[in-house]
Amino acid sequence: MTATSHANDTANDTANDTANDTASNAAPATAQASGAASATAQAESLTPDARQWWRRSQRWFWIALLVLLVALVSIATFGGMAVNSNRFLDPTSPSPSGAQALVTVLDEQGIEFTHAENSAELDAALAADGSKTLVVEDPFYALQEDDWAALLDVGADRIVVLSASFPSMTLTEQVAQPEGNFEVKLDADGGVINESMPDRFEAGSCSAPLAVNAPAITNLGGREFMPVGDAVGCYQVRDGFALIIGEATPGGPEIAVLGALSNLTNESITLDANAAMALNLLGTNDQVVWYTPSPSDYTDGGPTFGDYIPQWLMPVLLLIYLAGFATILWRGRRFGPLVTERLPVTVPANETLEGRARLYDASNARLRALDSIRVGTISRLADLTGVGPGASTEEVIAATAGLAGVPREHAHRVLLSGEPQTDRDLVDLANAAAELERRVRATTGRPKRKRKARESSATQPSASTGASASTVPGASTPATTNAQDATTETATTHTNDTQPDDSGNSGERA
């Protein structure tokens, strides 16, 4: 008894000393490894320096520079085209709707041309010596009745009115009265708009040299007028005329009211006798002053939107913007160097299975969950029935129904067409799919293979060795643990072998 106790004490002391030595040696090693890992983490910084940043970003820099150069070239090329106005009858515009071609022809005829865009330029142009033709267009409707009436006293020899606004009647009412609009006969595509309208208008009773030099002009649509008093109408449309010429007051300037304004544009000036009509209408005097009134000359100078803003509001808004920007800099998130972290890469299969099931359950995606079961079942049935993986679903269903001994409609509903409305329906259809697979396996003689479960218990001595473990007094023999590597398979729900009824519904499962 004493020897046995002494042996046990000796063995215990030896084991304790060994464990202490092992722990003492392991502690510095662990500390050294931890310190090395910490030093490595501190030494490895993933924040790029200036050179690395330039190496990574220089491609985007050159792309941005190329885009900027293309944009500048585009602006330089097409920006100049945008400077040219597309306004109708703009005398400086080369666009199809402009009137630059008419101005060019007037200049070639030796007629001085001036484009006045405000009242000051108009006064300066009319102050020059020589006979003058004043062309008035009012695209912005800036002239009021008094402004139109004042044009009679500016000293022009002829006033050509290219506007049909209501205030312009103050100047033209003694010469012409509006009769209405007229349409073209054909549109741009050759379609008939008004068969009763002619393609061109004849000069008719116009006096020479207009009737001689421009016997007919093109019908491009516009307004027609009726002559008043001694005024003469040219280019008769229906009851009215496209051009009226007369005097508003005895001894006053000659007034010409033109309704065919489109005949003066760049795209139409060369048709028929449009150019001759324009030259005889505008080129009878030494100078042509084309007046385009500016709205700024005739506004009443009322308060603008900025006049209603208090003077103190802009500084306060600026201060608020600066304070907000400072707050962004102060409270904005600052990113330090990137820290690498080793993430777990092994996820147990049951966790992903349960997580996906919970997602389906939370969104009530019963059909999607059932489709996941059906896909796997149909894939296995295609192999069991021998139709192959390339077979269609209908072929798999037909083969399954025959081997399982169930109606084809039942197999079709279980594997394809059945839609679960409740959780109970989902469970029933899933059990029915498992039952179909079980029946097919039983018919084909290919049972489901079961894999060995993972054993975590220690392996005991085998009885076939014919010897038992010997016991040594005062010493212990540690057991050897052998873990067998195997994968577990999800248990299949066992169902009763209940034959489906005539309605195609499977029986109640346990």
Residue 275, classified by CB atoms within 10 Å of its CB into exposed (0-12), middle (13-18) or buried (19+), is buried
Which residues pair with residue 484 across a beta bridge? 455
Question: In whole angstroms, what is the distance from residue 164 CA to residue 225 CA?
Answer: 10
pLDDT band at 311 (very low <50, low <70, confident <90, very high): confident
With contact defined as beta carbons under 8 Å apart, do 441 and 426 qualify? no
pLDDT classification of 294: cutoffs 50, 70, 90: confident
pLDDT band at 185 (very low <50, low <70, confident <90, very high): confident
DSSP reduced 3-state for 376: helix
Tell me, yes or no, whether 201 and 283 share the same domain.
yes
Assess if residue 431 is contained within a domain: yes
Domain end residue (candidates: 450, 475, 499): 450
306 within some domain: no
Tens digit of each residue's pLDDT (9 = 90 or more) over 146-164: 999 999 999 999 999 999 8
User: In this structure, what are the phi and psi dihedrals at residue 267, rounded to the nearest 5 degrees?
Assistant: -80, -10
In a 3-state reduction of DSSP, which class is residue 268?
coil
- Taking CA atoms, 416 is separated from 429, 430, 452, 507, in Å, by 10, 12, 33, 19
Q: Hey, is 482 helix, strand or coil?
A: coil
Mean pLDDT of 98-105: 94
Q: Is residue 348 scored above 90 in pLDDT? A: no
Determine the average pLDDT of the residues in 136-142: 91
Give 349's pLDDT tier (boundaries 50, 70, 90): confident
249 secondary structure, DSSP code: S
Q: pTM for the full model?
A: 0.48
End residue of a domain, out of 450, 475, 505: 450
Report yes or no on 254 lying in a domain.
Answer: yes
Residue 369 covered by a domain? yes
Q: In the structure, what pLDDT confidence band is assigned to residue 61 with cuts at 50, 70 and 90?
A: confident
Q: Within 13 Å of residue 190, how many CA atoms lie on the same side as its CB?
A: 0
Looking at the structure, tell me whether residues 125 and 192 fall in a common domain: yes
User: What gap in Å lies between CA 253 and CA 157, rounded to an integer?
Assistant: 5
Cα–Cα dist 212/190, whole Å: 30
Q: Could you tell me how far CA 426 lies from the centroid of its own chain?
A: 41
For residues 278 and 415, membership in a common domain is answered with: no
Domain count, the chain: 2
pLDDT mean across residues, the chain = 78
Q: Match 């300037």 to its residue by tokens.
A: 253
Note the pLDDT of residue 154: 92
Query: Residue 206 falls within a domain, yes or no?
Result: yes
114 and 251 housed in the same domain: yes
The predicted model gives 295-307 an average pLDDT of 66
Does pLDDT of 495 surpass 50?
A: no
Same domain, 146 and 222: yes
Cα–Cα distance measured from residue 132 to residue 160, given in angstroms and rounded to the nearest whole number: 11
Cα–Cα dist 284/208, whole Å: 12
Tell me the pLDDT band of 98, cut-offs 50, 70 and 90: very high
Instruction: Read off the tokens for 241.
Output: 């005329």
455: DSSP letter: B
CA distances from residue 422 to 376, 428, 494 in whole angstroms, order as listed: 22, 10, 21
What's the pLDDT score for residue 248? 87
Q: Select the highest-mean-pLDDT range: 66-75, 259-268, 290-299, 501-510.
A: 259-268
- The domain of 150 spans 100-297
Helices (H), 226-312: 274-282
Q: How far apart are CA 212 and CA 375, in angstroms?
A: 92
DSSP line for 422-443: SHHHHHHHHHHHHHHHHHHHHH
- Residue 179 binned pLDDT confidence (cut-offs 50, 70, 90): very high
Counting every residue written for the chain, the total comes to 510
| Cα 483 to the center of its chain, rounded Å | 60
